[in-house]
Amino acid sequence: MGHKVHPNAFRLGVFRPWEANWFANPKDYTKMLHEDLEMRRVILARLRNAGIAKIETERSSNAQLTVTIHTAKPGIVIGKGGSSVDQLREDLEKRFGNRVRISIQEIKQPELDAQLVAENIASQIERRISYKRAMKQAILRTMRSGAKGVRIYCGGRLRGAEMARREWDREGRVPLHTLRANIDFGRATANTTFGAIGVKCWIYKDVAAPLRKQPVVTDAAVPIAEIAPQPELAAVLAEQPQVEAQVATAEPEVATPVAAPRRARTTTTTTAKPAAKPKAKAAAPKAAAPKAKAAPKAKAAEKKAPAKKPTTSKKKTS
């Protein structure tokens, strides 16, 4: 049989931090642990409808307790003019005898928080909404928010059946065995008239990038001047500025051929304008051609004219 491991506890220390950050002596550890557990029960019972996903605690050396509440509805936790927060702080100080400081963190995307998704499905089942419909709608909203995979599990007397059964649905991939996979886990209980129905939710967000090892810089290569007795290193160091000078002089040579194409473009523009003049000269011979044709016609008329003169002279003689 497979042994199930809590996904959040499995990744503690890899990239997921602890929810309780404090140290105690062996004698006081049990007392502080039960104080933390009792304080979480009190806050969750009072702010049940505030959408609380996580409560973090931190103890300082001066016996001050800092409580961070992650909620999707900060307005309900704060109350009108901060009255709810002040009342909660006073109750916790009277109950546990320590100075309490409360800070509130808003969850901007509640669809990507597994605890809030599980509580939402449990509240719908309590209102007698079909568990299949609630599961599919939750999966659809979570995937639209940018998750890479979701898995939701419901178990109990579903739809009032006499025999309890388990139903689950999944979309995408949920690699539970990958330690670098950022998987959020949450569970809730729906108290119905038929009995308790458990809801579990796994949300696979992304893979945490591994930490890259930075190269170690040693100071052995810095003191070059201490190795003066070696003549070979001095010759190599003397040649380096010459190479840099050659590179610097090579840059203006590359820049000179760029101006040549610009001059060629100006010459082509000037030669293109006088091309219209030969067209006018070419039109002149065409106009002169009709004059040349008119000259032979005049000569033909002159030849015909003297042929008529002898006829008139003969009539006069007669």
Q: What is the mean pLDDT of residues 272-299?
A: 48
Q: What is the mean pLDDT of residues 41-53?
A: 90
pLDDT at 248: 45
Dump pLDDT digits (tens) for 69-92: 999 998 988 888 888 899 999 999
Q: What is the mean pLDDT of residues 275-293?
A: 47
Domains belonging to the chain, first-starting first, are 7-108 (3.30.300.20), 112-207 (3.30.1140.32)
CB 78 within 8 A of CB 85: yes
Dump pLDDT digits (tens) for 175-218: 999 999 999 999 999 999 999 999 999 999 988 775 565 666 55
pTM to 2 decimals?
0.64
- Is the pLDDT at 288 greater than 80? The verdict is no
Dump pLDDT digits (tens) for 154-170: 999 999 999 999 999 99
